[in-house]
């Protein structure tokens, strides 16, 4: 039997714990004896009346904290690469994120998936080193590296201690400047993506998302087509195609380096010039993204998924661009509708009705016009009633919103906002959002004040302008034989029935 001394908090008493019997002793007195003595002592004390909390009223909302970030410093390298720098000197960490304007908006109908596949191939082999060599090199110095393809840009993120950042940047520069695009790795990624396409046929959420985007934007719109590629394009893309795409768009004057952490401007400039100074500038043009037409009328698309235990329900309309003047009012309004756990949609469908584990709504912001959606996965037998409750809540948003509900939503946004800036990676992510959406450099410092300035009148105005339950497209993916009559009983409008292959096309045949 082994005994370990453990300091006991409070009173400076040292206790010992017997690992086998799990009995604590305090200076030779067992825990049981101490407990008995304590209870005995309590019995001799006068009973103190405790006031019961008043649960009929919500706790008072405290004042929102200010977000005051260090000044954002900007400069440009000799090759045209822009740099955004924010110092955070409390921890010896540095994050460098290279944002390249080479997102899926550049894909064409004949090469869908080329942007994300090019990004995925960058660290599959570079400067003669294999993917395993690159991963081991980062691991050896404790650095973290990742690549995230997106709609408008590709982000390459590197995090390391300030002492190790020069070594880490040297490895990362090979990935960014000298990718090899090895055919063997491309074949492996191609098979993985084709397998992923097959999996979508059994995933109601993927089916709903594909139909949602294609219907609202149109299948030829950059926001309405598949960024991961199709069966045909994935099979046709070759390493030479990826190299051509890389050469055309991966240029320093088409990129921005976001640097956050324990580093000053002079050191950051020296590191970046050393790592990326040989990167040659080139011509790069941003594609124009058309504004899609707003939804008119109400149509319900029902995709038959036989045997589905749940129905995926999604409402959709065309939304706004990220730079809209109504951004803060929309965020407060959407928090009330479906943007928080205590939102109207979640409280109704989850807490009150028990139809769903969670329901919500969101604006999908882009530099160009995005979308608005409200969705939930609901019990199959409750699909029709769930649609009715969605409509009730959307129509309810057109009435004046109580002042206290607006106040709670404002406080929710203001109180939670500082959490986004706790780490170097979080700050870099926010700066990337600012960059890609053309936001003002002081956006973050003004965020809380702008949220708290939203009035009930502002919320009512944007709700009536952007939430239109009579002009909304509804998508349901579920078991038609169970849900069809339920949906018809709601009398919401024209119903169009579809098979999964009507949405995703013929299922790819995987090579053996």
Q: What is the DSSP letter of 179?
A: B
CATH annotation of 298-504: 3.30.830.10
What is d(CA 409, CA 428) in angstroms, rounded to the nearest whole number? Answer: 26
Residue with tokens 């090469």: 111
What is the model's pTM?
Answer: 0.84
> Whose CA is closest to 116, among 284, 257, 249?
249
Residue 103, φ and ψ in degrees, nearest 5: -80, -175
What is d(CA 54, CA 125) in angstroms, rounded to the nearest whole number? Answer: 63
Every domain of the chain and the residues it spans: 3-38, 73-276, 298-504
What is d(CA 83, CA 257) in angstroms, rounded to the nearest whole number? Answer: 5
What is d(CA 270, CA 259) in angstroms, rounded to the nearest whole number? Answer: 13
What is d(CA 99, CA 438) in angstroms, rounded to the nearest whole number? Answer: 14
Burial 148-180 (b: 16+ CB within 10 A, else e): ebbbbbbbbbbbbbeebbeebbebbbbbbbebb
- Secondary structure element (H or E) that encloses residue 193, with its range: helix 183-200
What is d(CA 186, CA 125) in angstroms, rounded to the nearest whole number? Answer: 10
Q: How many CB atoms lie within 10 A of CB 7?
A: 8
Q: How many CB atoms lie within 10 A of CB 398?
A: 13
Angle at 310 between CA 309 and CA 315, to 5 degrees: 160
Q: For the chain, state the CA radius of gyration.
A: 28
Pair 186, 239: CB distance under 8 Å: yes
Token pair for residue 473? 């497209």
CA dihedral 49, 55, 58, 59 (to 10 degrees): 20
- Fold equal for 73-276 and 298-504: yes
Q: How many CB atoms lie within 10 A of CB 221?
A: 17
Superfamily name with CATH number, domain 73-276: Metalloenzyme, LuxS/M16 peptidase-like (3.30.830.10)
Helix H, strand E, coil C: the string for 122-177 is: CCCEECCEEHHHHHHHHHHCCCEEEEEECCCCEEEEEEEECCCHHHHHHHHHHHHH
- Secondary structure element (H or E) that encloses residue 236, with its range: helix 231-236
> Whose CA is closest to 86, among 268, 274, 256?
268
End-to-end CA distance of the chain: 59
What separation in angstroms does the CA of 348 have from each of 103, 358, 387, 412?
38, 10, 12, 19
- Secondary structure element (H or E) that encloses residue 386, with its range: helix 383-396
Pair 234, 194: CB distance under 8 Å: yes
Residue 482, φ and ψ in degrees, nearest 5: -95, -35
Token pair for residue 443? 């956006």
Pair 97, 215: CB distance under 8 Å: no
Token pair for residue 504? 């995703």
With both helix axes pointing from N to C terminus, report the angle between 165-177 and 265-276 in degrees, rounded to the nearest 10.
40
Q: How many CB atoms lie within 10 A of CB 273?
A: 15
The one-digit pLDDT tens for each residue of the chain (512 residues) are 333 333 333 333 333 333 333 333 333 334 343 344 344 444 444 444 566 767 777 666 667 667 788 899 999 999 999 999 999 999 999 999 999 999 999 999 999 999 999 999 999 999 999 999 999 999 999 999 999 999 999 999 999 999 999 999 999 999 999 999 999 999 999 999 999 999 999 999 999 999 999 999 998 999 999 999 999 999 999 999 999 999 999 999 999 999 999 999 999 999 999 999 999 999 887 888 999 999 999 999 999 999 999 999 999 999 999 999 999 999 999 999 999 999 999 999 999 999 999 999 999 999 999 999 999 999 999 999 999 999 999 999 999 999 999 999 999 999 999 999 999 999 999 999 999 999 999 999 999 999 999 999 999 999 999 999 999 999 999 999 999 999 999 999 999 999 999 999 999 998 75
């Amino acid at each position: 039997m082994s005994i370990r001394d453990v300091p006991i908090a409070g009173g400076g008493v040292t206790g010992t714990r017997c690992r086998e019997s799990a009995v604590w002793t305090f200076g030779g007195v067992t825990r049981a004896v101490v407990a008995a003595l304590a209870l005995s002592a309590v019995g001799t004390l006068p009973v103190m009346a405790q006031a019961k909390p008043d649960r009929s009223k919500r706790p008072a909302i405290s004042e929102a904290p200010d977000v005051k970030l260090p000044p954002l410093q900007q400069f440009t390298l000799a090759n045209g690469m822009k740099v955004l720098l924010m110092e955070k000197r409390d921890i010896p960490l540095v994050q460098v994120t290279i944002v390249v304007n080479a997102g899926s908006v550049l894909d064409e109908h004949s090469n869908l998936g080329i942007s994300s596949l090019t990004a995925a191939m960058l660290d599959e082999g570079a400067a003669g080193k294999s993917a395993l060599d690159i991963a081991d090199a980062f691991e050896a110095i404790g650095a973290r590296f990742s690549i995230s393809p997106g709609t408008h840009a590709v982000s390459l993120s590197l995090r390391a201690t300030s002492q190790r950042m020069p070594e880490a940047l040297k490895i990362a520069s090979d990935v960014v400047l000298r990718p090899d695009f090895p055919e063997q790795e491309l074949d492996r990624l191609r098979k993985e993506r084709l397998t992923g396409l097959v999996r979508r046929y059994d995933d109601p959420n993927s089916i709903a998302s594909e139909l949602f985007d294609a219907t609202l934007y149109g299948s030829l719109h950059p926001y309405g087509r598949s960024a991961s590629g199709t069966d045909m394009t994935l099979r046709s893309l070759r390493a030479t195609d990826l190299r051509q795409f890389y050469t055309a768009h991966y240029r320093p004057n088409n990129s921005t380096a976001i640097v956050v952490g324990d580093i000053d401007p002079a050191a950051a400039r020296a590191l970046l010039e050393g790592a990326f100074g040989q990167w040659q500038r080139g011509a790069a043009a941003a594609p124009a993204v058309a504004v899609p037409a707003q939804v008119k009328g109400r149509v319900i698309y029902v995709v038959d998924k036989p045997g589905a235990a749940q129905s995926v329900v999604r409402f959709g309309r065309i939304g706004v661009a990220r730079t809209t003047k109504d951004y803060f009012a929309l965020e407060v309004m959407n928090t009330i509708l479906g943007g928080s756990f205590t939102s109207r949609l979640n409280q109704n469908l989850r807490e009150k009705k028990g139809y769903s584990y969670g329901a919500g709504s969101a604006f999908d912001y882009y530099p160009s016009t995005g979308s608005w959606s409200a969705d939930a996965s609901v019990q199959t037998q409750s699909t029709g009633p769930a649609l009715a409750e969605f409509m009730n809540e959307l129509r309810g948003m057109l009435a004046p919103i109580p002042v206290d509900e607006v106040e709670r939503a404002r406080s929710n946004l203001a109180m939670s906002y500082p959490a986004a800036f706790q780490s170097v990676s979080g700050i870099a992510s926010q700066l990337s959002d600012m960059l890609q959406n053309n936001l003002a450099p002081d956006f973050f410092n003004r965020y809380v004040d702008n949220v708290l300035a939203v009035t009930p009148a502002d919320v009512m105005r944007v709700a009536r302008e952007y939430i239109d339950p009579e002009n909304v497209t509804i998508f349901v993916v579920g078991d038609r034989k169970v849900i069809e009559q339920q949906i018809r009983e709601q009398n919401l409008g024209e119903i169009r029935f579809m098979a999964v292959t009507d949405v995703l096309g013929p299922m790819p045949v995987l090579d053996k």
